[in-house]
Amino acid sequence: MHKTARVTVTGVVQGVGYRYFCCRKAGEYLIRGWVKNERNGSVVVLAQGEPGSLEQFINELREGPPGAAVQKVTVDYEQTNDQFNSFEVRRF
């Protein structure tokens, strides 16, 4: 059974390759969904995957790529009927 998490990441997470880092890590953990920058400087990730893989993915988001300075990661688990086939970078 898959689990869905909406993750909001704040700190220095825009302009440092954070969204593309998310894409690479999503591929490693077989996570589907999307990532996008928000106008307030945060990054939001909607991620679906097996519970163990999803937790490992979220732990990677807490670190981020070189150049990022993650200050806070907020995770909200959701019920959703949306099913994603891949992981993508979305615009604002």
Which run of H or E residues covers position 54? helix 51-63
CATH of domain 3-81: 3.30.70.100
Mean pLDDT (whole number) for 16-30: 97
Q: Six-digit token pair at 15?
A: 């302009």
Residues with a known catalytic role: 19, 37
The model carries a pTM of 0.94
Residue 81 exposure: Cα atoms within 13 Å on the Cβ side: 0
90 C-beta neighbours (distance < 10 Å), count: 12
Give residue 89's pLDDT. Answer: 96
**Residue ranges covered by each domain of the chain:** 3-81
Q: Considering the chain, what is the average pLDDT of its residues?
A: 95
